[in-house]
Each structure stands twice: as structure tokens, then as C-alpha cells.
Structure 1
Amino acid sequence: MELLGRGAETAVLDRLLERAADGAGSGLLLWGEPGIGKTALLEHAVGAAPCATVLRCRGTRMEAGLAFAALHELLWPVTDRLGTLPAPQAAALHGALGLSGETANRFLIGAAVLSLVSDLAAERPVLVVVDDVQWIDEASAHALGFLARRVANDPVLVLLSGHEDPASGPWDGLAALRIGGLADDDARSLVAAAVPGADDALIDDTVRTAGGNPLALHELPTLDRAAADDTSPRPPGAGVPIGPRLRRAFRDRVAAMPEPARALLLLAAAEDRGDRLVVDRAGTGRGVDASAWEDALRSGLIRTSGSRVEFRHPLIPAAIYEGATFPDRQAAHRALAAAQPTDAIEERAWHMAAAADAPDEEIAALLELAAGKSLRCGAGPAGVRALRRAAELSQVPAEAARRLAAAARAAWDAGQAEAARQLLDDAERLESGTDVARASSGLRGILEFTTGIPERAHQYLTRDMSVAPRTRDVVQLGSVAVRAAWSAGRTDLQQETLQRLLAVEADDDPALTEQLPALRALWSCYDQTGEFSPITPDRAHETTGRLVSAAWELLPPAPLVQIWGVEGPLRDALRVQAAALRERHELAALAVVLSQGAVLDLAAGQWGAAESAAIDGLHLADEVGADHVATQCRGSLALLAAARGDERTVEEYATRVLEISVPQGVRAFTSSVHWIRGRVALFAGRPDEALEHLMPVAQPGHDAAHPTFVLLAAADTAEAAVHVGRLDLAESRLTTVQAWARHSGAPWAQAIVHRLSALIRGGQSAEASYRTALDLAEAAGNPFEQARTRMLYGEWLRRARRRSDARRQLAAAAAVFDRLGADPLRRRALREQDLADGPTLRRGPGSSAGLTAQELRVARLASDHLTNREIAAQLLISPRTVGHHLANVYPKLGITSRTELSRVDLAGDLRLRVDARGR
């Protein structure tokens, strides 16, 4: 049957169904106000796809807190197909559907749903219909969103309907179609069809009042004419709110029914899950019998199918529930609580809570038990809601504070940072910070560490170490406290907390007892004073191997791992951490781990993985409100852009980082920005500018001063200093790295010592130093730095006129830069390689004929308006030599100045050759 006034909408649905039948799947969310006709459009789609397998479900308020409730309804007809899935996916989906005790793994469940639907679509097109997504439980919503975004290459159409614009949340990124009201002519036709014989006055009044809402157009005419006539003044052009009027219409209809039928409808509205058996049991003793069911079904407000009962429209149960008196609602919920199966802890707890009108410790305890069950199965938001309600029902303020603090921790683990902060504030208003700290496992310091001032975070964390309930919590809080002190550049606080952390005994925690020696070894890496024994690379694998299952809070920050040269094993541990956190859907912790892993992937030359981790971490951190984690991800993306020569992107990210780091005193972030900006300038051949950015990193008292980044930036600072003739500064950085290499034994530091020794001091030992640096860089596993060493070595060989050897080194360097996408250094290596080819031949007519390769290079840079000093920095020659070359260039080209040089065609054969190699 054609829907009145919905030609455009049905055409969209028909077109999507045709495309899906042809193998081009998609997802679409229909949204609009209640009663606007979304469900009717979904029914149209079902009727228009007679050859499709239809899977459908509907969200309900009562089941919104039950993990995977909607998925259970959707997939129940095809559970016999679960055995066709890969074993891990099948196990995960069995657990989600309550068919086994398998722990919930949301990522595997999403993949399993996609695999199952794709398998069904291999036989015939599949139509997935999900109504009222605003009440879909969070776990199901994530799985369905995962499905809807990944069916583009399958004959699958996913249609959803909801009340709100899907601008964010699980439906973010899906195509959406807003459903508006009917035009007046269509509305009149609909009223005339719904109420045969209606006079013009009733039709006009209904159309005016309903505002184009089809449900209102159906229901309003059934009211008494006087009740339907609304003469209250309205602002010009304002639409009439249909909610109150429709609710009145439904309530009036219910009020006219016999008492047992009214009781039945209220029970069904309060139960909200559509379980007819529970409603029937709850009605025992309230007169709910077969005749009550007949009356209710005859009203058209509800319908049944097997053991399911559902209302014709979601507004109906809302109107019935809101229209009932509070004592009647209490009685309904108490009856429903008593009617629940023995194992339905959550349902019984929520019905008892809905019936409570005063604090009740028994109900609060039952809700807390239900919250624990929700949290264990991955339904974090449901657990948070249960704990918050348990706090409201607590009779003692201390118990309310404890439950609020536990809710705050659950909200943080579920990635709801703002909610966690609010719940923690509420808890601290009821009880002392010490008691709340114990109940929330020191959450205040964790929140401050991820969003606030590191020194304040350190204060909270060290305070809460003394009240943490378990040794593991003490170690985790102490570890984060050391990180906070490191972030702030406070080596005094860092050392003080490290001493306290290393003194912890773990006799009450067997797992931590095994991990603690490894933790002590790794946490000693925080010391840069030489007081603790270093962790050598050969011990790194053994040490980190014990920490694969350790919480992210226990692992040291990535830049420190870098300077100790043990990033490889820890990178593996972080990958395991990330996989585990994805399984548990702990978004905040996952964002932290991804941000750390991005730093280590960059150092390993795995730039694609680094970029992916940083982007994913950034999105997660923004979603959960972890500002500092997002900032670190932006720093990694800026470092990557610097190596690629993307200066605009560097500045965009750098500006965002400094907006957070400078006001909050996060010196590690500020220092990293100075290092990154220095690299951009250095790679672009602007060593003077590079030094302006790099010098503050080692300047005591500066916002950017930080000992870790002094080491990380040492090689860049020394190279820039050599280019501008600051050999004293270069020697100073060499001395710094030498001392660290002796203390740590880190291969990267030893490689830099040899590279800088060759670059700064030259002489007969330079070649041996470069070769040793290359061997050590390979051992360090950083292909980018190894390529930089190879390029400097090739440049040295070219100046020593060993052109063949130079070309080999420069070609190898250029190949690595090309693979990584380090365009500025790739171009530099190719320029040097071209210069190693020797003087150009005279090429006949042409403006650049007769110039040597070096003269041509100097001329091109000068024509781009670079100064002699800037040209010298790019070509690794002195400004005086640049002047000498220009003095030769001018007479050869028949010009007398730089102004004329900019008008000369300097393309020539050489440029063509360089470009060809660079592409």
C-alpha cells in the first residue's frame, strides 16, 4: 500500500533496495519526532523486499541497559548459522547472545555479526531493520554501527530509525534521512481515510493541531470534539507540541477500558521488554486473565506474537506509564520484580529501584550487584547507571559516596571522562577525599594526569598511594605519579616518587610479585642521574616479556623508552595491551596505549602503523575527553609531518599542542614541539631557524626545557650547529650524548656519538666513525636515523671525491627516505647523488650550458632567493664557496646580478634527471 505523502522517502528506500540487490550495500538512519512515520517507512521497505532475508529488532527503554539485548532479538532467528563462523567469532557471539559463558569481546562480536550477515547475503539479499535506535543498548548499537558501515560490497541494506540526528555516537558516519511532517493536503486525505465521515471542521482542526504528524492525524480525531479543540494562544508560526495531546488521547482510551485490562497495559508498559510470560505472572492476583488480554488486544494498543507482547507505537506505553498514579506504578514494578526469573538480577533490581520512594539499602545492594554483572560483560554505561541509582538509594552517606566513586571509575573505564569527573565531584561532596580515593582507586589523580596539570596530578597520585586498597593499585598510582613528574620536567619529584615506588613489596599479589622485578628494572629508566643501574638491551626482552599482561599505568612513557634504547620489546607489549583493551572496550586506557605505541612505531620506521595508531588514539582521546592523550597523538602526527616536509600540518598540530601544554606546565609536550619545529627547519635547509627552536630545550627555566628531549634533539641540534659554524655548540651536544651512551649502553646513543664525531671533527677517523654509526643504527632498529647517517657519510665521500662510494651510500639513503615518505631528505640525498656524478657536459644551446653541477645547484637556489648562508647550509659548503660559485655563474650566463638570475631558464638536462629520480 502506498504511503500518503511519502513518495520521495519511499523512492529513496526503493533505490537503496535495488542497489543492495545488485551487491552495493549501504546503511541509512531515518530520524524524526515520535509518530512521524519512520516505522511505516521501515514496513514499506520490508514489503518491497519479498526476496530478502529480513532481520529486525526494536529498542526498548527497559532493555537499554542490558548488554546485547537488541542483538539477541535481531539474530535469534539465525542462531543455527553461528557454527559457520570462524571459531573466535562464533565463541564471542555465543557469549553475547547468552548461549555460553564466553567473556564479551565487542570487536570480535562486531566482526562476527558482519561475517554472519555477509554469509546470509551470499544466498539472498539481506535487509536489517532496527527501529527505535535511541533505546538500543550500547553494546548492540556498537555492533550494529560496525555492521552498517561495512556492507558496501555486500547485498545488504541496514535501515534504522530513531528520534535524534545521528551526528555522533555509534551511528556517526552513517547516511541519514530526516522524516518531516506531511503536507496539509496529504494530512487531510489521511484523516479522511482514518475517520470515515469526519466533517470538514474536525479535519481542519486535526490537521492544524497535528502539525503533519501521521500518528497524531490518526489519534486526535478519536477524542471528544471539545477535548480536541485547542484554543490556547500560540506564537505566530509556532508548531503545536503534539506530545501532551497524544498522551491525553491514549490515556483517555485506556481510561475507558475495564480495570484488569488497564492493569495489564500498565504492567506491559512498565516491563518494557515485551516478555508476555513475565507480564502474565506479574498480573496474577491483579485480575489479569484471558478476558483482560482480549480487551487489551481488542483496543489495538498492543499485539502479541508467541511469548512477545508489543505496543503499536512507542508513545503508547509512555503515555500509559506517565498517566498512571505513582502508587499504581510502584505496585506494577513490585509485581514485575517478583515475577522475574531467579537469574534476572538486573531486571529485578531495576524494577525494585523504580518502585522505591525512599532510601533502601537492600535495593541499593542489589543494584550494586547488578552493576557488577553489567561491568563484567562489558556494559559499562549500564553499570554506571546502576551504581548511580544505588547511591541515590543508599541510606548512609558513606555508602552513597563509595558507590558514586565506583561509578566514576566505571565511567572512566568506559571512556566517559566528563561523567567520571562529575560523579567523583558528587562523591567528594559526601565524604572525604581519602575515602573516595580508596573507592575509586585514585581516580582523581588519573583524571588530572590525562586532562590537567601534571604537578597537581602528581600531588593527588602520591597522596592516594597511601590509601589505595591493593598493592597493585599502589604500584599503578606510583607509576603514573612518576610519569606526571616526568611530564612536568620535575626531576626532583620524579626521583622522590621513584624511590618510593621501588620500595613497594607485593607479597599479597602473586602476579605482581612476578612482575615487580621487571617493573623495577623498567622504572629505573626514569632516572637520568646515573643512580640506578641501566636496563641493557639484552635484558629488555626478558624484562618486558613479564609485563605483557601488566596494566598500561605500569609501563613507562615512550620517549624515555626511546632514550634507553629498549623500545622494540615494549612496542610488542603495547600491541598486546591494545588488543586486550579493545576486547574489554576500555576506551580511555586504549587511547593511552595507542598514543604510546605511535611514538615507538615512528622510531621503528613503521610510519604507517604510527600514523594509524596516532589517528585512532586521537579520535578515542577526543571522544573520552583525555586532553593530554590527544595532545601526545597530535605530537606524533606533527613529528611524522616534519619528516615528510609538511610544514603546514606541523604548525597546525604544534599550535594545538602548545595551547594545552604551556598553560598547564606539561613541559614534555612543549619541549617536543620545539624539537619538531627544529627538525622541520633543519630538513628544509634552514639551520639558523632550527637552532632558534632547538636551543630552549636545554635552557634551564624555559617552558620547553626537558632532559629527555635534550637527548632526543641532540643530533639535530649538533647538525644545525655545524651548518652555521657553531662547532662549540655541536661539541657540547656530542659530549651530552657521549655521557648518556656510557651510562645507558643504548645503541642509538652510541650510533649518534660516532655520527656526530665524524660530522664535527672529520679527519682520517671520520670514515671509521660513519661505518660504526651505521652498524649501531641498524642494531637500534631505526631506519630513518640510519638513512640520515648514510646520507651524511655519502656527502663526506663526495667531498673526498670518492664519487662511486658516495653514490652507493646516497642511493641507499634516498631509497629509505622514499619508502618512508621523508621527502625533504630524499630530495637532498638525490641532489648529493647528482653532484657525485661529476661535472655536467656542455649540452649545446641552452642558458645553463657550461655550468658545473655544483654551479647549477647554487644558481637554482640563488634564483629561489635564498641567501648565501642558506645555500651553504643546504649544500654543506661554506658561504664563501657559494660566493665563489656565483662569481663563476654570472659571466657564464651573461648576467651581472641575482635579479637577472631569477629570469634565466635553469631547467636543463640536470633538472630533468633529478626529477626523474625523485618521482
Structure 2
Amino acid sequence: MTLSTTVPGALRPPELHGRREEIAAVESLVGRLRAGRGGALVLAAQPGLGRTALVEHARDICPPVPSVQLTVPAALPRQGPLLVCVDDIHAWPSAARSALLADLRRLPAERPVAVLLTVAEHHAGAGELGGPVTLRLGPLDDTAAAALLDRLTQGSADPVVGAWLIREAVGNPRLLTALAAALTPDQLAGRTPLPDPLPGGEDLLDAYAARIDALPADARALLLLAAAAAEHEPDGAGADLALLLRAGGAASALAPAEAAGAVVAAGGRIHFTHPLLRRAVLRRAPLARRGAAHARLAAVCRDRLSRLVQLSCAAGDHDARLAGDLAEAAIAPHPHAERSAALARAAALTADPTLRTDRLAAAAEASRLAGDPVRARALLARTAAVPAHGGVHRVRGLLSLADGPAADAREELITAAVLLPPEPARHALIGAAEAAWAMGDAVAYREAMTRVPACVDDPALEAYRAGMCAVLAGRTAEGHALLRGCLDDVPATGDAAGLLRAGAAALVVGEVEAACGAGARALAAVRAFGPEVLLPRALEHLAYGELRAGRHTRARAHALEGLRAARRTGQPNVAVSLHAVLALAASVEGDAEACTAHAAAAAAGAGPHGLAQAATLAVWAVARADLAAGRPGDAAARLAPLVAPGPRCGHFAVRMLAVPCFVEAAVQAGRTAEARDATAEFTRWAGATADRLAPAQLARCRALLAPPQHTAAAYENALAHHDRTPGEFERARTQLLYGQWLRRRRRTREARGPLRDALVGFERCGARAWADRSRGELRAAGEAVAGEREPGPGPLEALTPQQQRIARHVAEGATNREVAVRLSVSHRTVDHHLRNVFAALGVRSRVELSRLLAGDGGLPDRDEEIAAHL
């Protein structure tokens, strides 16, 4: 036993990363002790997760209260407040643990004693601590692990190396520390390849394996077979019990292994309770025993690839024949993850540097297709011996396309195309074109697609390549004809990439329903046949097609699923695009907070990686939400740079789609000249495009700009175009604008019809904010609206409905001119009503009005609202 008092000003222990909840619990215990109250806390965790560091933190913050660190059974001091710390109490004999707990229970109630105990989970004695509050420490998340690694290496670790170390440490800070310490500076910096397997952490693995040391020999032998069998299985799949029994494992040995908490048997498979336990079982076995286990498994494996993987694990050196057999067997229908593991094994057995690099590049590509970019990059990091390798550049470029600057991806893929044979070079150039598209560089897109050799063996791909080149070269009719041929030649099933190209071609030629159909088939193909890496992209294409078709609710559902898939497969660039789609959906549905949040997320990722298409869509979404909320000035200011020609313009495939929004906002904001210029360009585009909504949208733009004597006829013409095309949302917007114009001309009886139709249309497509605008217009036109919220009691109760709307807008900070635009009334009308509002409410200023409505609940409290978003 040691009694200690920490010296004030002593160095604090190293920062505890990712342990905010645990630190708060420890500090709460110490705080209660300082206040004269006792308490108890048990910290339970697997080895290496930081139990001891938390005990040191408790003792560090304890002064002036003394603390006692019990390392052996001993009597407690009987006087004064006390912090009792016992680290690894499971290591004490059972009788000593019981005696300490009994001693603590006998302490007088008035004696302030705080007890902090730590125990290893699944260890004998852990169950005896049922009385105190128990806090279980989990593994660090990747963010906390990255912060720890950055501190350990002083920021010198290469990102690829760091990601692999974090993966291998599985959230264990002690293991991460050991792995980083075992590497040389050149290995940490990525200048030399990492060893495989990584050294370090042997003492920690011994601590994990200690739980099986007391097991019978046949149980330990079964666990070794299970650990070895997992080498040819996907991560987390466990081991096939029948295979272990064929290899000589004893069925009776399973029960003691389960009782010890080492494994769990379910569905005919055996799973280790912790990945480090499986690793420890393999590492601790002598090389001869480990090799024998792999050989026994190889002898009874019925699948050729699994058998070859087990033989490779038993091999001690380069083996050209075995490596060739592995590479030959690593083909479909095996999952990409298994193919990657086999190809990596083949590379390890290969002596020739060029052939080894070929196999590592193929293994990295299989990992990429499996949705595992961390492993893919780690495999590429072993290829330094052959610097100019087309396969390496291609995989690196495709990884950057999913998670990196689009310009970097394009350069890597262009370089790969120079180094690769014709067939893989073709796919590298198509990837380079995709990068240029994401960047918004039409010239670079056309250059890359022009360099793609004619695809005579793939008519659909050739039609897509030639059609896109023609469209971007200005030969629109020729390009559309070719792209329609792409739709005709797309295979029925299986080729997810081909279906995604067909969906993109359909959007270019204005066949929105065909685009949705191709997207749905691509999604089904990915789910049935893979590859996993295409799942978020398929969901993005489908969601965007559904947005264009006006099915915003379905688009949101698919985009949310895609966002989860993009995060799971390490594709933040796809996540950025999906955030933009979600922002567009929210701008229609009227969820302003969701629109702002998704648009901000899209902008945050689009900027650093140069994703112009996602950035343009996000700005368009926020501008459309501004329009829905009656802020046309804000909407026009956002969209003006995107729709105007010049270096600040938006993405070339999105610019014209946003013009109708800009024209509407610009006309209402008094920027008529800019609206006319944009309409003129939109007219030329509508004449060349096959977009079915374009004629109706163009007619609406012309109605907004028409002289009063022709406006009604122009709106009727626009509605006639809408009657010939789908698109509930766009039709309702035209009806709303027509109704607003009629009401402003005091033709209120005529205005009610289009306003009612607009309300119904918006309600049918779930556009809540737009429906609210329609209700407001209907009420202003003298028609009661069923389902509209009645004003509650409060200071606004005495006001007319129009006065209430004006009061709320003014209290939110809008100027009189902005209120006039939002409510489609004159500036003079707002002035008149606002004077009456001030008189009725007894306020003298806009500030007093804002305070009155905020206090009544009529407005959100700004401080609370801001705090809720932090």
C-alpha cells in the first residue's frame, strides 16, 4: 500500500483521447469526495484500453485529499477523507478481493471515502464487484485513435500508414502506441514499406491470450485451428466448425473454450470474442505448430482458393508455383475481399519485383471493389520497388476519385492510361473523365473521352463515349441519337457500371423515367452481384433521377441509404454528392434546417476536393429554400454567379437547370435585366436539349418577364406545356406564380383557382414550405384554407391575419421592402399595416416588437436557437 499526495503543479498524465465520458465519471467521483461524500466506481475493460491511465488521472486531480494506491491486500487508514485506488483487482486472490470489499462496506457512513477499482473484463473475479457502479471502457473511435497517433508521432505519420496502424490497433490505445513505437521513422513516414505482419504489442497479446492458458490442451488446439481457419475467411465471418472437426479438432473442446469467454459458437461457426484474441492465439503458437495447423486445414478444405491460402500461410519463403496458383484462383465468383487476401498472399510469395507489384496492385483493386480503401492503400504502399506502374496509378486514381481531390484523381488516371495495355487503359480514361465531370471541367472531360479507344466489343459503352463527346462538342442532335442507342444496347442484368452509364445518358437526353429505371436496375445488380464499392454510387444516381422526376420523398430515402453506404465504404466524395441531393430534396419538402445542414456538409467536402457539381447543387438547394421562404433577394444573390457565363459559373451540367429558379428570384428582387439575359441563354439551351420540363420552365420565365397585357396568356401557355409533361412540383410553382400575379393585379377571384391548384400540387409532392406560401396567398385572396393553423392566444390575437404575417416577418428582421416581396404586396401596404401593428400592440420600435413576439413564443429565442445548432 502507498499513501500519496500529488504535489501541486506536477505534470499531468498524457492526454486521454476519446475518454470524455470516463474522465467525467472519475472527476465526478473525486468531486463528491471533496464535497465530503463517498462513492465507488469500477472501470472494466479489455487489456490496453486505459484503465490504469484513468486511475493515474484520478490521483492526479485528487489533492488536497489524500489517495491510497493498494497493490497488495492491506488495512485501510481509519481517519480522514480518502481516495482508494485498486488497479487490476482481478489479479488479487479471491479471498483478498472479498476482504477488501467487506472492509469498504464497513466504513462509517459519515466517513468520506471514494473507491476506484479497475478490472479486466472476462476475468475471474470481475463478477464479484456487483455493488459499485461499473463503467465499461470500449475501444477508441477512429477520430480519437488518430489524435493519439498524431501525438505519439508528432504528426510525422504518413496518412496511409496512420490509417493502417489505426485499423490494426482496433481501437486499443496501448497497442497503437506499441505498433507506432516499433516502426522506423522511414516506415512511419511512408518512405519504406511496412512489415507484414506489423511488429509490436506482444506483451498486450500475451495479456489477451492469458485467458486460454488454463484451458485443456484439446481446447487450445481447437482455438489454434479456428484462428488459422479465419485466415481464408472474410473479416468477422469466423471459422467453419465442420472444417475444424475435419482437420482433427475435438468437438468436446468447444464447451470449455466458450465457458472461458474465448469464443462463441453460432450457426455452425466459431467466432472469437475479440479480434486481438484470435491474433494472440496465432502469434503465441510456435512456428512449427502454426504451420502444422495450416497444413491440416489445407488438407481438408474443399474450396481450391481456401486450400491455397492455407498452404501459403504454412509456406516459409518465396514459392513461385504456389503464388501463381493463388493468383490464378483469385477470380469470380469469390468475393472481392477474399480475392484481395489471396492476391496479397501471392505477392508475398513472389520474388520478382515487377510481378509482385502486379499482384499487389490487383489485390489493392480487389480491396477497393470490396469497399475497403484503407486496406487498398496499405497494399499500394508496399509497391515502392516499381514506381511507374500503370496498375498502381490506376488504383490510386480510383481511390482518389472516391476520397481525394478530383484533379489528383484525373492526373493519376491519365498517367495510368499511358502505362497500361489498351483494355485497362480504356477504363482508366473513363475514370479520368468521371473526375473531370466532378470538377466541372467540360474540356477535360471531352479530352479524356476522346482518347478512349473505340469500344467495338461493347456497343453500349461506345455509344456512351461517342454520344457524350458529341454533346459536349456542340453536336447535340448527333450526341442525343448516339446516347439513345446506349439505352437500347444496355445489358439486361449484371453490369452495374453499364447501367449507371445508361442512367446518365438518359438524363442527358431528357428521359428521366428511363434514368430512374436504369438506376433501379443498377442498384439491384450491385446488391446481387457487387461490387460493394458501387452501392453508394448506384443509390446516388437513382436518388438524383428521382429528384428530376419529382419523387422527392423516394429520392431522400435512397440518398440517406447511400450516405450510410458511402461512409461504410470510405467514399466521402460520394457522400458529398449525396448531401447535395438531400439538400435539394429538403428544399422541396420545406425542411429548412435539413437543407442548410446538408448543403453545408456538401460545401465543406466539395471545396477541398474540387467537386464543382456537388457545390453547384448545394447552392441551388439553399437558393430554392430561400425562394420557398419568401427571400428572393437572397436566392438571386446565390444563383447569379452560377447561372451567368464566366469563370465563377456553376457546373456545366447543372447551370441551365438552375436558371428558372434564378429568373423567378431575380424578377421578384428587381434584377430584371439579369433575368432577361439568363432567359435568353435558357431559350437557346431549351431549343437544343431534350429535357421535357424545359419548354414549360421557359414559358414560365417568359411569363415572369412579360408586359402586363401579355402576362396572363404567357402563364396559360406555360401551364399548357406542363399539362404535356410530368412534374407536379414545377407545375405547382407556375400556378403559384400565376396566382400571385393575379392577386397583385387585384383579380382575386381569378387568383383563387391557380392558388388552390398550387396548394394541392405542393401537398401531393410533400413540399410543405411551398404549400404554406400557397395557403398564405389564398388567405390574402380572401379564401379560408382548411387545415391552416389557427393563431393561438397572445399579443397577435387582436391583429388581422395579414397584420400577423407582417408582424412576424418584421420581428424576424426583414425590412419593409423584403416583407412586401415575400407577401406579394406593395411597400406602401406594408408601411400602413406596420403602423397599425405598432399601435395595436403598444410598441414603438421593431426591437420591441421582436422582444414581444419572442417572449410570447411567436418567435424562436435566437440565443436558444443558436445554441441548439452548436
Question: Per the shorter chain, which TM-score range?
Answer: 0.5 to 0.7
1:733 paired residue among 663, 675, 678: 678
Amino acid in the other structure paired with 1:376: P
Q: 2:305 — aligned with what?
A: 346
What is the alpha-carbon distance in structure 2 between the residues aligned to residue 280 and residue 618 of structure 1? 43
2:821 is the alignment partner of 1:873: yes
What is the alpha-carbon distance in structure 1 between the residues aligned to residue 220 and residue 483 of structure 2? 76
Question: Once the two structures are superposed, what CA deviation does each residue of 1:249-279 show, in whole Å capped at 9, x if it has no partner?
Answer: 56xx75xx9xxx9999988986786778987
What is the alpha-carbon distance in structure 2 between the residues aligned to residue 248 and residue 727 of structure 1? 83
Amino acid in the other structure paired with 1:692: A
Measured after TM superposition, the shift of residue 601 of structure 1 is 1.2
Q: 1:449 — aligned with what?
A: 401
2:630 is the alignment partner of 1:685: yes
Q: 2:190 — aligned with what?
A: none
1:629 paired residue among 569, 574, 579: 574
CA contact (8 A) 1:748 1:780 kept: yes
Amino acid in the other structure paired with 2:320: E
CA contact (8 A) 2:500 2:538 kept: no
Q: 1:229 — aligned with what?
A: none
* Distance verdict in 2 for CA 1:187–1:521, change over 3 Å: farther
Q: 1:656 — aligned with what?
A: 601
CA contact (8 A) 1:698 1:706 kept: no
What is the alpha-carbon distance in structure 2 between the residues aligned to residue 434 and residue 751 of structure 1? 52
2:448 is the alignment partner of 1:497: yes
2:391 is the alignment partner of 1:430: no
What is the alpha-carbon distance in structure 2 between the residues aligned to residue 311 and residue 444 of structure 1? 34
CA contact (8 A) 1:515 1:547 kept: no
Q: 1:365 — aligned with what?
A: 324
Q: 1:226 — aligned with what?
A: none
Q: Give unpaired runs (5+ residues) of structure 2.
A: 1-43, 48-88, 99-116, 128-202, 231-238, 260-264, 786-793, 859-870
* Distance verdict in 2 for CA 1:410–1:805, change over 3 Å: same
SS at match of 1:445: helix
* Distance verdict in 2 for CA 1:580–1:800, change over 3 Å: same
CA contact (8 A) 2:603 2:615 kept: yes
CA contact (8 A) 1:862 1:898 kept: no
* Distance verdict in 2 for CA 1:384–1:873, change over 3 Å: same
Question: Once the two structures are superposed, what CA deviation does each residue of 1:661-693 show, in whole Å capped at 9, x if it has no partner?
Answer: 222222222222322222222221122222221
SS at match of 1:707: coil
Deviates more, 1:583-592 or 1:798-807: 798-807
Measured after TM superposition, the shift of residue 456 of structure 1 is 2.4
* Distance verdict in 2 for CA 1:358–1:518, change over 3 Å: closer
SS at match of 2:381: helix
Q: 1:707 — aligned with what?
A: 652
Amino acid in the other structure paired with 2:407: E
CA contact (8 A) 2:759 2:771 kept: yes
What is the alpha-carbon distance in structure 1 between the residues aligned to residue 209 and residue 494 of structure 2? 55
1:461 paired residue among 413, 428, 439: 413
CA contact (8 A) 1:541 1:569 kept: no
What is the alpha-carbon distance in structure 2 between the residues aligned to residue 299 and residue 850 of structure 1? 78
CA contact (8 A) 1:611 1:637 kept: yes
SS at match of 2:338: helix
2:348 is the alignment partner of 1:392: yes
Question: Once the two structures are superposed, what CA deviation does each residue of 1:833-890 show, in whole Å capped at 9, x if it has no partner?
Answer: 12223799xxxxx999999976775566456653221122112344345446667x57
2:437 paired residue among 486, 489, 500: 486
CA contact (8 A) 2:406 2:611 kept: yes
Measured after TM superposition, the shift of residue 831 of structure 1 is 1.4
CA contact (8 A) 1:639 1:676 kept: yes
What is the alpha-carbon distance in structure 1 between the residues aligned to residue 272 and residue 580 of structure 2? 53
Q: 1:64 — aligned with what?
A: none
* Distance verdict in 2 for CA 1:209–1:351, change over 3 Å: farther
CA contact (8 A) 2:357 2:386 kept: yes
Amino acid in the other structure paired with 2:333: R
Q: 2:734 — aligned with what?
A: 789
Measured after TM superposition, the shift of residue 549 of structure 1 is 5.4
SS at match of 2:630: coil
What is the alpha-carbon distance in structure 2 between the residues aligned to residue 521 and residue 741 of structure 1? 19
CA contact (8 A) 2:592 2:625 kept: yes
What is the alpha-carbon distance in structure 1 between the residues aligned to residue 770 and residue 223 of structure 2? 74
CA contact (8 A) 2:748 2:782 kept: yes
Deviates more, 1:725-734 or 1:348-357: 348-357
Q: 1:591 — aligned with what?
A: 536
* Distance verdict in 2 for CA 1:875–1:425, change over 3 Å: same
Q: 2:236 — aligned with what?
A: none
CA contact (8 A) 1:402 1:436 kept: yes
What is the alpha-carbon distance in structure 2 between the residues aligned to residue 724 and residue 300 of structure 1? 77
Q: 2:776 — aligned with what?
A: 831
What is the alpha-carbon distance in structure 2 between the residues aligned to residue 277 and residue 559 of structure 1? 47
1:409 paired residue among 357, 362, 365: 365
Q: 1:150 — aligned with what?
A: none
What is the alpha-carbon distance in structure 2 between the residues aligned to residue 302 and residue 726 of structure 1? 75
Measured after TM superposition, the shift of residue 500 of structure 1 is 3.1
Measured after TM superposition, the shift of residue 825 of structure 1 is 1.4
What is the alpha-carbon distance in structure 2 between the residues aligned to residue 886 and residue 346 of structure 1? 80
What is the alpha-carbon distance in structure 2 between the residues aligned to residue 276 and residue 615 of structure 1? 40
Count of equivalent residues: 654
What is the alpha-carbon distance in structure 1 between the residues aligned to residue 776 and residue 681 of structure 2? 32
* Distance verdict in 2 for CA 1:282–1:350, change over 3 Å: farther
What is the alpha-carbon distance in structure 2 between the residues aligned to residue 853 and residue 323 of structure 1? 79
Amino acid in the other structure paired with 1:492: V
What is the alpha-carbon distance in structure 1 between the residues aligned to residue 460 and residue 435 of structure 2? 25
CA contact (8 A) 1:803 1:836 kept: yes
CA contact (8 A) 1:211 1:240 kept: no
* Distance verdict in 2 for CA 1:528–1:875, change over 3 Å: farther
| 1:535-614 aligned within 5 A | 535=480, 539=484, 543=488, 550-552=495-497, 555=500, 564-614=509-559
* Distance verdict in 2 for CA 1:547–1:736, change over 3 Å: farther
CA contact (8 A) 1:607 1:820 kept: yes
What is the alpha-carbon distance in structure 2 between the residues aligned to residue 839 and residue 282 of structure 1? 82
Measured after TM superposition, the shift of residue 535 of structure 1 is 2.2
What is the alpha-carbon distance in structure 2 between the residues aligned to residue 450 and residue 212 of structure 1? 39
Measured after TM superposition, the shift of residue 659 of structure 1 is 2.1
| 1:174-253 aligned within 5 A | 242-243=207-208
Q: 1:815 — aligned with what?
A: 760
* Fraction of identical pairs, as percent: 28
* Distance verdict in 2 for CA 1:550–1:737, change over 3 Å: farther
| 1:829-908 aligned within 5 A | 829-837=774-782, 858=806, 861-862=809-810, 866-883=814-831, 889=836, 902=849
What is the alpha-carbon distance in structure 1 between the residues aligned to residue 505 and residue 273 of structure 2? 59
What is the alpha-carbon distance in structure 2 between the residues aligned to residue 703 and residue 386 of structure 1? 49
Measured after TM superposition, the shift of residue 419 of structure 1 is 1.6
CA contact (8 A) 2:735 2:758 kept: yes
Amino acid in the other structure paired with 2:300: Q
* Distance verdict in 2 for CA 1:535–1:360, change over 3 Å: same
What is the alpha-carbon distance in structure 1 between the residues aligned to residue 726 and residue 677 of structure 2? 26
Measured after TM superposition, the shift of residue 608 of structure 1 is 1.9
SS at match of 2:537: helix
Q: What is the CA RMSD across the aligned residues, in angstroms?
A: 5.0
